[in-house]
Structure 1
Amino acid sequence: MAETEAKKRTGLGALADAGNTDDFSVIDAIGGPRGVIESMLPGVVFVVLFVITSNLQLTIGVSAALAVLQVIVRLCQRQSVMGAVSGLLAVGICLIWAWNSHEARNYYMFGFLTNAFYVVLLTISLLARVPGLGLVIEFIRTLPTEHFRAWLADWRGDKALNRAYTIITALWIGVFALRLIVQVPLYLGNHVGWLGTARLLMGIPFWALAIWVSYLIVATPMHRHKMVQKTSEGDAEVAQNTEMREEH
């Protein structure tokens, strides 16, 4: 059981396994209860502490200490620290930005930039007719070490799968854009408390919803595509064996 749990992937990695399993779990896909807590806690502490004290230096110090503590706890427990370390880096960038600018609202600037970057990147992928979510998921699912064009043509040539990837790419563009539409006005108005609340509500909850809806959209066409692949591979193997027997 433990071994099975260890093999579960999160984020888009979980979607890459969507065609293999019927017991998809949103909680597992977003890192489990512990992953959710570790992701949200620094942000919760930051906004609550700043609203209560209005002391930016104290807020930054406590938030930074908490983020470091999370990594130390995982190290002591000999657990994977990649998620915690990546979270620490993200929080560190946000805290440094707020510290240098002496404005609490700039804690959220890095999030605006990353969301805007994803909107632009995914939009370009749709214009190029290579849906970005499909590119990432298929890359995770079947790492193309060679024959890149054949790998690309394989999943793009499946109309149902490519359409599903196009839909979820547009969905994720909507998620990132909606965050900006709601949060940027709060940033411009310097409403740190409301901005922090919006950031939390539109963070993990939106992430979980996007993954769940994406799973519902891609699971069936991905499963069918994999079945077709297995059938084609089986036919190719039979043909190869037949040819070898004829040669002998």
Structure 2
Amino acid sequence: MEAIGGVRGVVESLLPGLVFVIGFVVTRNLGLTVAVSATLAVLALVVRLLQRQAIMGALSGVAAVAICLVWAWFSKDARNYYLPGFLTNAFWIAALLISVVVRVPGIGALVEFVRNPTLSDLSSWLRSWREDKPLYHAYLKVTLLWVAVFALRLLIQLPLYFSDQIGYLGTARLVMGVPFFALAIWLSWLCIAAPLHAHRRDEDRIEILKTDNNDLRADDAPVDD
């Protein structure tokens, strides 16, 4: 729940899209639907600003909604509200598959960069987790899991897009949005947790040995009179 911003984060993420699909299905007025959805997204950001809360989540939500609404408005086609999402899904499928081919699983690289961010000595950084076979294979499985997540979204939603089923498309987009991603995050953690815990334990053991060796060398050093 913390990863997706709690209940409030879920509501802020789902509400503009929910209002868009319901509003357009009911009114068939694209201009009105776009205006109401945009207002809700901006209002969520303004409320967070007034409450002096972190705004990055709300700000990214406004940016994402704005891109979708702009596509829909300028194309004069409500279906194109969902087009940026299709492009994003396709990009991540390609990026994650390439990461698997080059043996640097994308999800693993992301997790390890969050754990230990580095922009230098990348070879050592890569070896530190790629040579841990259980951890590497867990990262590989989870990366393929996310490829399946993005591919399943396209497989279900693209036929609805091309058949102009906006109501069903909007519903599928909402269900396969935050709830679907939350499930994928949970499954990812179940897969990664044990090997990552073992890897951290090994890292701590190595650090202790290094500290002990440094202490021994310091004790053996000659003392000046």
TM-score (norm 2): 0.97
| Distance (whole Å) between structure 2 residues aligned to residue 227 and residue 211 of structure 1 | 23
Aligned residue number for residue 140 of structure 2: 166
| Distance (whole Å) between structure 2 residues aligned to residue 56 and residue 204 of structure 1 | 24
Aligned residue number for residue 57 of structure 1: 31
Q: Output one character per residue of 1:19-54: Cα deviation in whole Å (capped at 9) or x when no partner.
A: xxxxxxxx2222100000000000000000000001
| Distance (whole Å) between structure 1 residues aligned to residue 103 and residue 120 of structure 2 | 22
> Aligned match of 2:56 in 82, 86, 89?
82
| Distance (whole Å) between structure 1 residues aligned to residue 35 and residue 217 of structure 2 | 70
**Aligned-pair distance for 1:145?**
4.3
| Distance (whole Å) between structure 2 residues aligned to residue 205 and residue 34 of structure 1 | 13
Identity %: 53
Aligned residue number for residue 234 of structure 1: 208
Aligned residue number for residue 192 of structure 2: 218
Aligned residue number for residue 107 of structure 1: 81
Q: Output one character per residue of 1:97-125: Cα deviation in whole Å (capped at 9) or x when no partner.
A: 00000000000000000000000000000
Report the count of equivalent residues.
222
SS of 2:52 mapped into structure 1: coil
> Aligned match of 2:104 in 130, 154, 172?
130
Q: Output one character per residue of 1:59-80: Cα deviation in whole Å (capped at 9) or x when no partner.
A: 0000011111010000000001
Aligned residue number for residue 178 of structure 2: 204
Aligned residue number for residue 7 of structure 1: none
Q: What amino acid does structure 1 have at the position aligned with 2:56?
A: M
**Aligned-pair distance for 1:237?**
1.0
| Distance (whole Å) between structure 1 residues aligned to residue 76 and residue 188 of structure 2 | 39
Larger radius of gyration: 2
Instruction: Please tell me whether residue 69 in structure 1 is matched to residue 14 in structure 2.
Output: no
The answer to which structure, 1 or 2, has the higher relative contact order (CA under 8 A, 6+ apart) is: 1
Aligned residue number for residue 191 of structure 1: 165
| Distance (whole Å) between structure 2 residues aligned to residue 31 and residue 172 of structure 1 | 20
| Distance (whole Å) between structure 1 residues aligned to residue 221 and residue 109 of structure 2 | 41
Q: What amino acid does structure 1 have at the position aligned with 2:153?
A: R
| Distance (whole Å) between structure 2 residues aligned to residue 234 and residue 157 of structure 1 | 20
TM-score (norm 1): 0.88
SS of 2:182 mapped into structure 1: helix
SS of 2:54 mapped into structure 1: coil
> Aligned match of 1:149 in 123, 127, 148?
123
Runs of 4+ in structure 1 off by over 2 angstroms are none
SS of 1:122 mapped into structure 2: helix
| Distance (whole Å) between structure 2 residues aligned to residue 200 and residue 215 of structure 1 | 23
Unaligned runs of 5+ in 1: 1-26
Q: Output one character per residue of 1:178-226: Cα deviation in whole Å (capped at 9) or x when no partner.
A: 0000000110111111100000011111101100000101011111100
Aligned residue number for residue 32 of structure 1: 6
**Aligned-pair distance for 1:239?**
0.8
Unaligned runs of 5+ in 2: none
| Distance (whole Å) between structure 1 residues aligned to residue 220 and residue 124 of structure 2 | 29
